[in-house]
Structures are given as structure tokens and as C-alpha cells.
């Protein structure tokens, strides 16, 4: 059997869902192939979305009319805004999720997308003709042809689960790994390697002594993820907080040989920022306690509501050792385990092998997104999937790819980091990775990205209408705040202490004065009362960040001037004078698109950039002559 599609997506995880939906929104006839239709949208690890940096990615996915933000709001059972006491740039929306509700809502969203096909198949090979990928085949000999293929294989490429002395070939618990596809990629002489991640045991809710635990409630005012969010939220739950102790650490230390890493049975490197409990005990030997959050995986009464995720004790030791150390934690003295934790090792492709569009340089028409590119996390995967889906659809339609800049989006920061610097451990997004984080805030993702999404045809009518209404209100609000100016006497009559210097100040400037608020201004300008909380928040942030944002905009303009110098695709770096052998090798390996990207490659010095700049400009001059 052979069928032809514009875009085929392999994998039904977070990257695959966003890739398929984005390609479909961009007008491509799209097929999503995955091992099991019933596991589409599965949250394989923790039951949470968002956080610091990650929450920004979800808001950006939503601003581009992706699914993750909307589905999160349909399944969120505990909203919390992290870093609430800090500046808006580093606040991170986070939510506990009902796993079953999330999975069902994602499957429904894809099923309702007329023209987007879903089919169960274990893809084992790529169909390559004339140096391009033109389709895929499965383990039953079925073939599907396409203009572009997107691989979002997660942890399935030769995945192996490690638990104590057990080694279980699996993509995740209960699912077979993808061996043939992994071998196919190795046969292409791609730069590949092994990474690992892990997950903790799952606990029975009724076996936990909740009464003796500190409880962490949801925020009273939820920070929703989608800019389209309206209506009531789900009932909100509390999470428990406990901690490891010296007894816990002693049990783990005495059984380190059972650990996949410390027992020498696993070579892949794990995520530094999400270490296993074994890593914590070894690397932080001076600490006698580590906090553990007990997170219900669903609402009471729902199928997942009786399962609890102990966030902070990912492990790969044996089942007996897991049960022993878990029962040393306060509240878990009589805990029962529903499923024991494990580590999983899997293949990935060095992301420096990719164009910034996420197309593989060595094999045109093949796009990669998610953990196959060395990242970790639902949010990072979903963001890559959206960009890969959009660009695959555009390529099939004969259009140029879309590349977001580091000054435009956290998505742009992440992809640039990946394709320029590569990874030595699973990549996780943090606000600290973004040079322009004052302007790349979670609250303004729609203003930054929805106009672009509308321009490239990614946005549906509901999103377009909602954005146009909000943009119109914001424009009028900003005009009122910047064009309305008061004398010092007029400001004093509002209760603001302003120097009697004769200088008129705008409402936006006055909003930064002690005691100033929109409520004070609303007594004179009542239209302020009509602003939504989101619009009011934007106006307050505009005022607080005005000076900083101006300087950051100038820095971004300077960056764009560097980025504007395109390096020819076929440039032979061996003939560029003034470059060391090491720099030539790195430039030839990464193949940067621009001078700015070249400058972010580790080891490329300012002197090397100057030499490269001169060579490219000289080449342009010679061509013009």
C-alpha cells in the first residue's frame, strides 16, 4: 500500500502533536503516524506543564496558535506563578495537570482537525530517493510517501529502560522501542549519541499520610496559559511537601551499585538540572535533606487521581531499594508503590546537523523535533514540533522557512542554541539563556508572535479576532498613557509627589511614582476601568520597564545587523584566511547561516569573525564586479 501526503509526522508525543497540527494549519495534507493512537498526547513523566523558561515556551506556542496552552488550561488542576515576587521577565506560569484529561483533550483537538489524519504504525525506515526523504515504511511493509517527513521519536530510538540489574528494551514503560529507524539514521553517518532521562516511582494516594505534611495550595488568581482562555477553571488541588533525610541517603549510598549510572550499565548523560536522587546523594554529599513534592496526577475521582508523582526522587535503583528509601520520608512510612521508577537511555542526533528550520542538512526534506535533538521536557519538544511542522509545510509549498531570532522568542533562543552549540546533556530552557529576556516575557508572547503567525497563515479565525480586539484596546490604552501629560500641580492634585519643575509628565511616567496606580488615574479617565486585567498588566509593565526596553531594543537592532550578513551555503571555510584549523573545523561542522550565528559557536574568536566578515564582503564585491 502506498499513499501520498504533503507532510508525515512520526510520533504522537508533544513534539509530534504540535508538528502535525502546525503543518495542518499551514495548509499541508498531514498524516501523523504513531505506535498507539490511544497514547497520543501522553505525559510520559511529570504531571505538570510550564515553570521558569518553560512557561514562556508554552505562551509562545499558544501565541503561534499551537495546542499546548489551550490543552493545558483544559486539564490544569493547580495553577501557580513561579517567581511572583520578582520582575515580570522571570515569572514562570506552571500548572499541575490531570493526565487523563490532557491526553483526551489533545486527542480530541487533533481528531477535530478535518484533513489531519492519524494512523497507528511502527515506522522502521525512511524512503530515500535522489538524496531526499520521500516517505516512510513500517514494520508491516506499508509505505507512505510525502513531500516532507518529521521525526519526533522522543525516547524511542533504541530506548532501553534501566532499573537495578534490569535492562528492558522500550521507548517508555509498556511500549516497544524503535530499533530499525535508529539503525537507518546511523547508516546515514549522522553524528549521533546516547542520552538518558529518568522518572520516579508512582505512589498510591490513599497510602500517604497527608495529615502530617505541609500542603501547597494553588494560587487564588490563576495564571492561564492560553491567551484565548475564558470561562471557569477546573477544581484546584493542593500538593504535599516532604523531604529526604539521612536515613534515605544512607540507603541510597549503600545501594549505588544498583544505579544504572553508578553501576556502570548506562553511558548516556542525563539532565544536570533534573538529577536523580542518586546524583543528589553523590554530588551534594554535604546536604542532609532534599525537598520532595507529592503531586497528584489527577482530580479526586478521576482515573489518575489515585496516583501521586513524587517530584524530586527520580531513580534507577532496584524496586526493593526504592520502596525502602521511599518509606523513610515523612508521610510515606506506609506508602504503596503503583509503578517503580526507572532510567531510560536513547539515541539522539547532534542538533548542529540541522538547519535553523530544523531540516537535516545531510538529508533534505527530513525534519527533527524534540528529544531526538537532545532536548528534555514537554515544552521544549512542543515548541520545536511547531516550528518543524510549519517549515515542513512551507517547504512543500515552495516557500522559505521561518526562523525566529533570539530577540523575538525563547523558541528562537532554544533553536539557535541547539543548531549552533549542540548539546552534551539534555537541553532545558531557562530564562537566563535569553539575552533579551526583558522583552521576551511570558505576558507579551502574543504581541511578539501572533502577528507573524497571522502573516504566515498559522492562525485560525478565533485567535485572529481575539488578538485584533486586544491589540486595539492596547493601542488605545498606550496612547492614553503616553499622550496624556500632566503638570506638576495636576499630578499633585492626584496625590502624587512631583517636583515643581514645570515639566509635564505622561501618565505612563507618573505610573512609576510612589503611590501611583491605574486606579488613581481611573477616577479622571474612567475608560481605564474597562481594561481587562491582561491589558492593565501590560500598561504597568510598559511603564516599569520603559527605560530598560529602549536600551534592549537598541541592542537587538545591533544583533540584527550582525544576523543580516548571510554566509553563503557553499562557502569553503578552508580558503578563508586568518582562521585556525580548529575554527575551520567548527564552522564546517555547524555551517552557520549568519555572522551572528557563527559568533555564538564555542571557540570562534572575535578575530576569526573579523576574518570571516572580510572574506564574505570581499566575495560579494567580486561577484558584483
Q: What confidence tens digit (pLDDT) does each residue in 438-452 have?
A: 899 999 999 999 999
The tens digit of pLDDT for each residue in 116-157 reads 999 999 999 999 999 999 999 999 999 999 999 999 999 999
Q: Which helix (H) or strand (E) holds 584?
A: helix 581-590
DSSP conformational letter for 83 = T
Please calculate the CA angle 334-282-339 and round it to the nearest 5 degrees: 35
Closest among 17, 20, 8 to 39, alpha carbons compared: 17
pLDDT at 257: 93
Q: Is the pLDDT confidence value at 1 over 50?
A: no
The tens digit of pLDDT for each residue in 393-413 reads 999 999 999 999 988 999 999
pLDDT at 434: 87
Q: How confident is the model at residue 96 (pLDDT cuts 50, 70, 90)?
A: very high
How far is C-alpha 624 from the chain's CA centre? 43
Query: Can you state the angle between helices 378-396 and 410-421, rounded to 10 degrees?
Result: 80
The tens digit of pLDDT for each residue in 552-607 reads 777 777 766 767 788 998 899 999 988 888 889 889 988 998 888 888 887 787 67
Residue 471, classified by CB atoms within 10 Å of its CB into exposed (0-12), middle (13-18) or buried (19+), is: middle
Closest among 36, 43, 33 to 11, alpha carbons compared: 33
pLDDT at 138: 93
**C-alpha distances in Å from residue 527, one per residue of 432, 469, 520, 524, 544:** 38, 16, 12, 9, 21
DSSP conformational letter for 201 = -
Return the SS3 of 105: helix
Q: How confident is the model at residue 2 (pLDDT cuts 50, 70, 90)?
A: very low
How far is C-alpha 536 from the chain's CA centre? 27
Q: How confident is the model at residue 512 (pLDDT cuts 50, 70, 90)?
A: very high
98-113: b (≥16 Cβ within 10 Å) or e: bbbbbbbbbbebbeeb
Q: How confident is the model at residue 621 (pLDDT cuts 50, 70, 90)?
A: low
pLDDT at 459: 95
pTM of the model: 0.91
Residues in the chain: 625
pLDDT at 623: 66
Q: How far is 408 from 386, CA to CA, in rounded Å? A: 16
Percentage of the chain exceeding pLDDT 90: 78
**C-alpha distances in Å from residue 210, one per residue of 207, 293, 303, 376:** 9, 12, 20, 31
DSSP conformational letter for 515 = T
Q: How confident is the model at residue 614 (pLDDT cuts 50, 70, 90)?
A: confident
Quick one: three-class SS letters along 128-181?
EECCEEEEEEECCCCEEEEEEEEECCCCCECCEEEECCEEEECCECCECCEHHH
Q: How far is 264 from 497, CA to CA, in rounded Å? A: 68
Q: Where are the beta strands (DSSP E) in 445-494?
A: 485-486
> Which residue stretches of 200-259 are H helix?
246-254
**C-alpha distances in Å from residue 346, one per residue of 9, 196, 201, 372, 477:** 19, 6, 20, 9, 51
Residue with C-alpha cell 524534540? 370
The tens digit of pLDDT for each residue in 153-187 reads 999 999 999 999 999 999 988 889 999 999 999 99
Across the chain, which distance is largest between two alpha carbons, in Å? Answer: 83
Q: How far is 233 from 236, CA to CA, in rounded Å? A: 8
Q: How confident is the model at residue 417 (pLDDT cuts 50, 70, 90)?
A: very high
Q: How far is 322 from 162, CA to CA, in rounded Å? A: 13
Please calculate the CA angle 378-379-384 and round it to the nearest 5 degrees: 100
Residue of 617 and 271 predicted with greater confidence: 617
In this structure, the number of other CB atoms found within 10 A of the CB of residue 131 comes to: 9
Average pLDDT over residues 433-439: 87
Average pLDDT over residues 383-392: 98
Q: How far is 148 from 161, CA to CA, in rounded Å? A: 31
Quick one: three-class SS letters along 593-617?
CEHHHHHCCCCCCHHHHHHHHHHHH
Q: Which helix (H) or strand (E) holds 215?
A: strand 214-216
Amino acid at each position: 500500500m502506498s499513499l501520498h501526503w504533503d507532510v508525515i509526522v512520526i510520533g504522537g508525543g508533544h513534539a509530534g502533536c504540535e508538528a502535525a497540527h502546525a503543518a495542518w494549519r499551514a495548509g499541508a495534507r498531514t498524516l501523523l503516524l504513531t505506535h498507539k493512537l490511544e497514547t497520543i498526547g501522553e505525559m510520559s513523566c511529570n504531571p505538570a506543564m510550564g515553570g521558569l523558561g518553560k512557561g514562556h515556551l508554552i505562551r509562545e506556542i499558544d501565541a503561534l496558535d499551537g495546542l499546548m496552552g489551550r490543552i493545558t488550561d483544559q486539564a490544569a488542576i493547580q495553577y501557580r506563578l513561579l517567581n511572583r515576587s520578582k520582575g515580570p521577565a522571570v515569572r514562570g506560569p506552571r500548572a499541575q495537570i490531570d493526565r487523563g484529561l490532557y491526553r483526551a483533550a489533545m486527542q480530541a483537538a487533533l481528531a477535530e482537525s478535518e484533513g489531519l489524519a492519524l494512523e497507528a504504525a511502527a515506522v522502521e525506515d525512511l524512503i530515500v530517493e535522489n538524496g531526499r526523504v520521500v516517505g516512510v515504511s513500517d514494520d508491516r511493509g506499508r509505505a507512505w510517501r510525502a513531500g516532507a517527513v518529521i521525526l519526533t521519536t522522543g525516547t524511542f530510538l533504541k530506548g532501553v529502560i534501566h532499573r537495578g540489574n534490569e535492562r528492558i528494551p522500550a521507548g517508555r514503560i509498556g511500549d516497544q522501542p524503535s530499533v530499525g529507524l535508529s539503525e537507518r539514521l546511523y547508516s546515514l553517518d549522522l553524528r549521533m549519541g546516547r542520552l538518558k532521562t529518568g522518572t520516579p516511582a508512582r505512589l498510591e494516594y490513599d497510602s500517604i499520610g497527608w495529615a502530617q505534611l505541609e500542603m501547597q495550595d494553588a494560587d487564588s488568581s490563576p495564571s492561564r496559559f492560553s491567551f484565548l482562555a475564558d470561562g471557569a477553571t477546573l477544581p484546584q488541588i493542593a500538593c504535599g511537601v516532604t523531604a529526604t533525610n539521612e536515613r534515605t541517603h544512607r540507603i541510597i549510598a549503600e545501594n549505588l551499585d544498583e544505579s544504572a549510572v553508578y553501576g556502570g550499565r548506562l553511558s548516556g548523560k542525563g539532565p544536570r538540572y533534573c538529577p536523580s536522587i542518586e546524583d543528589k546523594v553523590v554530588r551534594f554529599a554535604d546536604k542532609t535533606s532534599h525537598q520532595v513534592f507529592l503531586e497528584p496526577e489527577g482530580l479526586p475521582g478521576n482515573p489518575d487521581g489515585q496516583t501521586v508523582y513524587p517530584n524530586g526522587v527520580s531513580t534507577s535503583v532496584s524496586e526493593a531499594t526504592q520502596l525502602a528509601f521511599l518509606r523513610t520520608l515523612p508521610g510515606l512510612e506506609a506508602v504503596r508503590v503503583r509503578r517503580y521508577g526507572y532510567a531510560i537511555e536513547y539515541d539522539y542526533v547532534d542538533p548542529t546537523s540541522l538547519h535553523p528550520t530544523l531540516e537535516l542538512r545531510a538529508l533534505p526534506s527530513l525534519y527533527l523535533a524534540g528529544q531526538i535533538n537532545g532536548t528534555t521536557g514537554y515544552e521544549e519538544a512542543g515548541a520545536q514540533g511547531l516550528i518543524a511542522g510549519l517549515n515542513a509545510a512551507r517547504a512543500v509549498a515552495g516557500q522559505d522557512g521561518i526562523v525566529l531570532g533570539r530577540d523575538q522568542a525563547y523558541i528562537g533562543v532554544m533553536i539557535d542554541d541547539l543548531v549552533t552549540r549542540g548539546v552534551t546533556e539534555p537541553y532545558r530552557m531557562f530564562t537566563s539563556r535569553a539575552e533579551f529576556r526583558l522583552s521576551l516575557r511570558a505576558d507579551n508572547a502574543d504581541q511578539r508572535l501572533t502577528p507573524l503567525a497571522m502573516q504566515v497563515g498559522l492562525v485560525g479565525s478565533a485567535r485572529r479576532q481575539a488578538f485584533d480586539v486586544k491589540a486595539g484596546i492596547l493601542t488605545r490604552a498606550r496612547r492614553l498613557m503616553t499622550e496624556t501629560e500632566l503638570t506638576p500641580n495636576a499630578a499633585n492634585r492626584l496625590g502624587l509627589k512631583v517636583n515643581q519643575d514645570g515639566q509635564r509628565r505622561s501618565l505612563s511616567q507618573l505610573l512609576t511614582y510612589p503611590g501611583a496606580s491605574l486606579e488613581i488615574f481611573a477616577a479622571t479617565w474612567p475608560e481605564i476601568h474597562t481594561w481587562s486585567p491582561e491589558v492593565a498588566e501590560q500598561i504597568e509593565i510598559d511603564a516599569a520597564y520603559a527605560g530598560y526596553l529602549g536600551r534592549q531594543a537598541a541592542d537587538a537592532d545591533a544583533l540584527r545587523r550582525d544576523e543580516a550578513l548571510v554566509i553563503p551555503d557553499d562557502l569553503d571555510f578552508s580558503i578563508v584566511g586568518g582562521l585556525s584549523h580548529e575554527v575551520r573545523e567548527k564552522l564546517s561542522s555547524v555551517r552557520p547561516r549568519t555572522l551572528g550565528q557563527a559568533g555564538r559557536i564555542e571557540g570562534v574568536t572575535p578575530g576569526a569573525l573579523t576574518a570571516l566578515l572580510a572574506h564574505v564582503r570581499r566575495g560579494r564585491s567580486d561577484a558584483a564586479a
